[in-house]
Structure 1
Amino acid sequence: MMFSKSREAVLIIILFGLLGFSADSMAECARDTIRDLVAQGKTKSAIADFCDMEISDVNSALKTKPIKHDEPSLSGKLVSGTPVGACGCWGAVPPGTTQPHQSCESGYAVATPCPTYCPMGGYQWRGVCQ
């Protein structure tokens, strides 16, 4: 049985509606968006309406703590967690081994495994400021 293109389009729209892929089901806002709306002076009920969420979801998003990023270093050196080299097969090194590194604020880098294996066995690694 042949359908015209308009009938096929209508059937696809109905199918997506039945499966729950409507625009309303994807309208929830991210935590940062909710925080921005609060900073703009919006009420929790207005945010819930705007984001198509329950007020309890807005409250729980506001209760979670934002991710704290390391403050930039005033010394001009690299802060903790900054990679100091590319991942590579630099030889066998136990993870967590520290080595002196002048670029790091702490003065040390730690050997950190990368998610790639070396052709001769083992894993790639790189130094990361401690």
Structure 2
Amino acid sequence: MIKILCFLVLAVVLIELSLSGPAPRMKVLPCPRGSRPLYRPDNQPRKCLPHQTNLCLNALDDRTDPSTVCCWHNQIDYHCCIGIDVAECPQYNNVTVVIHNSFSHLASPVKSFHFRKGIEEEIDFAQ
């Protein structure tokens, strides 16, 4: 009896969700308001990693102040942003980034993982 009641409640919830339609799409900006993204040659926002700001700095022109460049996480990905105050740029002290789906499809690709420095001192490996 309880299983039937749970099934009916679940069916009602699913029907209500399907009638309400899909959730509205939100546009997530690559950089915070008041700043602008650094673009790649194909007009896509340039991506970066929290502990490798050189990915942003190497692409700057001579007119841009490098102290306003920040690797910004917009809750989806990391992007190079220009025009951010130094105090607003996150430090990412306790962030580890694992890159997935970035390997070649060769039989024996070279695989490397980029972890933040010092993380091995915070992990207690089982013996």
Shorter-chain TM-score tier: under 0.3
Greater RCO structure (CA 8 Å; 6+ sep): 2
- Normalized per residue, which structure has more helix? 1
- Normalized per residue, which structure has more strand? 1
TM-score by length of structure 1 reads 0.22
In our comparison, the structure showing a higher alpha carbon Rg is 1
